[in-house]
Structure 1
Amino acid sequence: MAIDLNVYELLVIGDSDLLIHQVQGEWAVKNLKIIRYVQYVKNLCKRSRKIEFRHTPRIQNELADALATIASMIKHPDTDYIDPLDIELKEHRVHCSHVESEQDGLPWYFDIKRYLESGTYPEDATSNQKKSIRCMALNFFLNGKVLYMRTPDLSLLRCVGAAEAVRLIEQIHAGVCGTHMNGLTFTRKIL
Structure 2
Amino acid sequence: MAIYMNVYEFLVVGDSDLLIHKVQGEWYVKNPKIIPYAQYVQKLCRRFHKIEFRHTPRIQNELADDLTTISLMIKHPDTDYIDPLDIELKEHPVHCSHVEGEPDGLPWYFDIKKFLESGTYLEDATSNQMK
Where relative contact order (Cα < 8 A, 6+ residues apart) is larger, the structure is 2
- Call closer, same or farther: CA 1:78–1:35 in 2, change over 3 Å: closer
- Call closer, same or farther: CA 1:49–1:95 in 2, change over 3 Å: same
The TM-score normalised by the length of structure 1 is 0.43
* Contact 1:76 1:82 (8 Å CA) reproduced: no
**1:18 alignment partner AA:** L
The separation in 2 between residues aligned to 1:169 and 1:82, in whole angstroms, is: 46
Structure 1 residue 90 displacement after superposition: 4.9
Q: Secondary structure at the match of 2:65?
A: helix
- Call closer, same or farther: CA 1:90–1:50 in 2, change over 3 Å: farther
**1:2 alignment partner AA:** A
Measured on the aligned residues, the alpha-carbon RMSD in Å equals 3.7
How many residue pairs get matched?
A: 108
- Call closer, same or farther: CA 1:40–1:69 in 2, change over 3 Å: same
The answer as to 2:45 corresponding to 1:45 is yes
The separation in 2 between residues aligned to 1:6 and 1:101, in whole angstroms, is: 57
**1:24 alignment partner AA:** Q
The answer as to 2:40 corresponding to 1:98 is no
The separation in 2 between residues aligned to 1:2 and 1:32, in whole angstroms, is: 27
- Call closer, same or farther: CA 1:27–1:168 in 2, change over 3 Å: farther
Match runs of 1:1-191 below 5 Å: 1-68=1-68, 73=74, 79=81, 87=87, 89-90=89-90, 93=93, 96=96, 98-99=99-100, 166-167=108-109
Identity of aligned residues (%): 61
**2:22 alignment partner AA:** Q
Give the match for residue 127 of structure 2: none
**2:108 alignment partner AA:** V
Gaps in structure 1 of 5+ consecutive residues: 103-164, 177-191
The TM-score normalised by the length of structure 2 is 0.59
Gaps in structure 2 of 5+ consecutive residues: 117-131
